[in-house]
Amino acid sequence: MDVRAQLSMTFHLDKCIGCHTCSVACKNVWTTRQGAEYMWWNNVETKPGAGYPLTWEDQERFRGGWEVTSSGQLRLKLLKGPGKLRTLANIFFQPNLPTIDDYYEPFTFDYDNLFNAPAGDDQPVARPKSLITGEFMDKIAIGPNWDDDFGGSPVYASNDPNLKVLSDSQKEMLTKFHKLFYFYFPRICNHCLNPGCVASCPSGALYKRGEDGIVLLDQEVCRAWRFCVSACPYKKPYFNWASGKSEKCIFCYPRTETSQPNACAHACTGRIRYVGVILYDADRIEETAKLPQERLVEAMRDIVLDPNDPKVVEAARKNGIEDNWIEAAQNSPSYKFFKKWRLSMPHHPEFRTLPMNFYLPPLSPILHQAKSDKGGTFDPESAEFFNDIELMRIPLKYLAQLLSGGNEGVVMESLKKQMAVRMYTRQMRVGDVGEARVRGALNEAGITEQDALDIYKLVALAQYKERFVIPEIHREIKTTVDPRTMYEKRGHVGFGFKRREFVARKW
């Protein structure tokens, strides 16, 4: 057993209102630089939707993530056939690289014209201007959230790669207003245990930090081969076209190292985000990543270790994990959601990178379609509100495609638990569900009343310190830079050099 610590974020999708405050917080802190304007290390997608970059989940096109070969080996999808030799063959032209058009051309507006236009008969306008070329654009064809709230859904939402598994009648829901469903999906880098980006980098610039599991990209070592952009199935490394280096979400490590939550998590208005430590067994990464895709969620729960188990604690100490980290792991909301209560699940585990951010599947909108088919309406105040989950509006199949590699059982388990908690709290507050029915639901979901209360507290009432249990890294002992160079390196944020001040290099 090789116990490692990993910082992990959990997203409670039911509470996400799609306000993009997280994205803006991240952008303001990290990506308002030339070459990075188009990057959204944190972005929020409307699902179903094509996403950002467009159809990023389509691995036939981008070849991100891993596959198990016929000989039982784990191989990057990008390196199909000759394996690593393919990297040499594609080094001059990378066939699976998304281009700027798959994201969007960054733009600003000619605001000066509003103030400085000469007097005339017409109202002056601010025309869009490309941030790459500086030229005026005819029109803005696409933006980072073009299909927000189902804007243009026949074009965008219907191109969602996850819809392939749905039946025609289920797909039809996208166009029938009274059957419509959608939810928001915030995404950051998953800081995977078996990251595709790290594995694909010909320069070895990407690495996983041993202490907290954050995946980083060494800007000084990056040589612009761009394989990480393709190999990451989540499309979270981005190529900076001005500096010629890739960049990615850094889990706000300068903040987490001092036990502050990430900018996105801190800014979240819906308080949907939880950050905590997870202990896992690094010896079992490879065997876990190779399992059949329906078993991946279970296997990932298996590789995560119980921080209250004395044996695990002992092994963790032996491995140099400090006490404040072990204690944080014991209070970790991410651990509770993922393993203790089995509520959250990874995003697309079938990409086999073992992503380390987890999502609680959305229960809303619960108003199920069978009822509205009959023309009936719901009284959300009635006990009948709590209906059969099988008939809920968001097809279970779709959620399973998104969160469990097609395994509907684990999604169902989570939804049933969430529903049981709702019934439990409604009975507690309003009392119209009925004791027997609540107990039945709790039994069926396999949780105790205490569990239900704890879950309710954590999802609905939790305060800052309960949502963000982030232990400090002892910088005086562990440091990312040579202490002798710390003074001259102060002020660096990790992207280029301070003296360079983020200008595009000229050679």
Using CB under 8 A as the binding criterion, the count of chain residues that bind another protein stands at: 62
Q: Which string of b and e fits 79-91 if b means at least 16 CB within 10 Å?
A: beeeeeebbeebe
What's 443-486 look like in SS3? Answer: HHHCCCHHHHHHHHHHHHHCCHHHHECCCCCCCCCCCCCCHHHH
Of 248 and 417, the one with the shorter C-beta distance to another protein is 248
User: Among candidates 390, 470, 457, which has minimal Cα distance to 425?
Assistant: 457
Q: Which span sits near another protein by CB under 8 A: 40-48, 309-317, 403-411, 477-485?
A: 477-485
Transcribe 398-440 into DSSP letters: HHHHHHSTT-HHHHHHHHHHHHHHHHHHHHHHT--S-HHHHHH
Residues 137-196 that bind another protein (CB under 8 A): 193-195
Of 91 and 165, the one with the shorter C-beta distance to another protein is 91
Of 76 and 166, the one with the shorter C-beta distance to another protein is 76
Of 6 and 23, the one with the shorter C-beta distance to another protein is 6
Of 192 and 411, the one with the shorter C-beta distance to another protein is 192
The Cα–Cα gap between 36 and 26 comes to 12
Query: What x/- string results for residues 266 through 305 when contact with another protein is judged by CB under 8 A?
Result: ----------------x--xx-------------------
Of 200 and 334, the one with the shorter C-beta distance to another protein is 200
Kindly state the smallest distance separating residue 141's Cβ from another protein, in Å: 14
* 64 within 8 A of 353, measured Cβ to Cβ: no
Kindly state the smallest distance separating residue 232's Cβ from another protein, in Å: 14
Question: Left if phi > 0, otherwise alpha if psi is -120 to 50, otherwise beta: which for 75?
Answer: beta
Residues with Cβ within 8 Å of residue 192, at least 6 apart in sequence: 215, 353, 354, 355, 356
* 104 within 8 A of 132, measured Cβ to Cβ: no
* 10 within 8 A of 337, measured Cβ to Cβ: yes
Of 246 and 404, the one with the shorter C-beta distance to another protein is 246
Residues 199-258 that bind another protein (CB under 8 A): 199, 201-204, 206-211, 219-226, 229, 239, 241-242, 244-245
Of 178 and 505, the one with the shorter C-beta distance to another protein is 505
Kindly state the smallest distance separating residue 102's Cβ from another protein, in Å: 10
Residues 28-87 that bind another protein (CB under 8 A): 76, 84-85, 87
Structure-block tokens of residue 306: 């119980």
Q: Which span sits near another protein by CB under 8 A: 141-149, 388-396, 463-471, 473-481?
A: 473-481
Structure-block tokens of residue 326: 């072990």
On the question of a cis peptide bond just before residue 195, with omega within 30 degrees of 0, the verdict is no
* 78 within 8 A of 86, measured Cβ to Cβ: yes
Query: What x/- string results for residues 83 through 102 when contact with another protein is judged by CB under 8 A?
Result: -xx-xx--xxxxx-x-xx--
The Cα–Cα gap between 111 and 58 comes to 38
Kindly state the smallest distance separating residue 327's Cβ from another protein, in Å: 18
Residue type, 69: T
Residues 372-431 that bind another protein (CB under 8 A): none
Q: Which span sits near another protein by CB under 8 A: 141-149, 299-307, 423-431, 494-502?
A: 494-502
The Cα–Cα gap between 145 and 40 comes to 10
Rg of the chain's alpha carbons, rounded to an integer?
24
Residues 318-377 that bind another protein (CB under 8 A): 320
Kindly state the smallest distance separating residue 439's Cβ from another protein, in Å: 45
* 479 counts as binding another protein under rule CB under 8 A: yes
Residues with Cβ within 8 Å of residue 218, at least 6 apart in sequence: 205, 206, 207
Of 14 and 281, the one with the shorter C-beta distance to another protein is 281
Kindly state the smallest distance separating residue 29's Cβ from another protein, in Å: 22
Of 282 and 453, the one with the shorter C-beta distance to another protein is 282
* 8 within 8 A of 278, measured Cβ to Cβ: yes
Of 209 and 368, the one with the shorter C-beta distance to another protein is 209
The Cα–Cα gap between 107 and 134 comes to 9
Kindly state the smallest distance separating residue 65's Cβ from another protein, in Å: 13
Query: What x/- string results for residues 101 through 140 when contact with another protein is judged by CB under 8 A?
Result: -----------------------------x-xxxx-----
Residues that bind another protein (CB under 8 A): 76, 84-85, 87-88, 91-95, 97, 99-100, 130, 132-135, 193-195, 198-199, 201-204, 206-211, 219-226, 229, 239, 241-242, 244-245, 282, 285-286, 320, 477-480, 496-497, 500, 504-507
